[in-house]
Amino acid sequence: MDARLREGIALFNQGKFFESHEVLEVFYQETDHGNKAFLEGLIGLAAAYRLFCDFGEIKGPVRLIHQALMRLENYQPAFLQVQVKDLCQNAEAWAKAAEAAGAQPSASNIPKIKLQRFSFFS
């Protein structure tokens, strides 16, 4: 896994969404691999949760999450060691809670980006 992707994920999981967005954006700009849509999805999630945490917005983050989910759709169940399916399910659940009438999502419920664990034993 590229060090920039690992750093962006670590920052995301620490709740440093602006910093995560910045690191992932640099990686996006510098890569010419076929994983740009995947990176756009992660960047979109970071932007969504930053809007929620830093500005208390709901509608914008929910819209960004749905856009990110579309970009991540073809990378499931996992891509570049990221458990994409799990991330998408958790992000969608968070967005649904945010959309529910009178519901106020919590920053503590923001999903983490989990990485695959490899086992050498069956």
pLDDT tier for residue 34 given thresholds of 50, 70 and 90: confident
Which of 45, 55, 36 lies closest to 92, judged by CA?
Answer: 45
Q: Which residues contact 16 (CB under 8 A, 6 or more apart)?
A: none
- What are the pLDDT digits (tens) for 57-114? 889 999 999 999 999 999 999 999 999 999 999 999 999 988 885 556 667 789 999 9
DSSP string, 21-81: HHHHHHHHHH--STTHHHHHHHHHHHHHHHHHHHH--SHHHHHHHHHHHHHHGGG-S-BTT
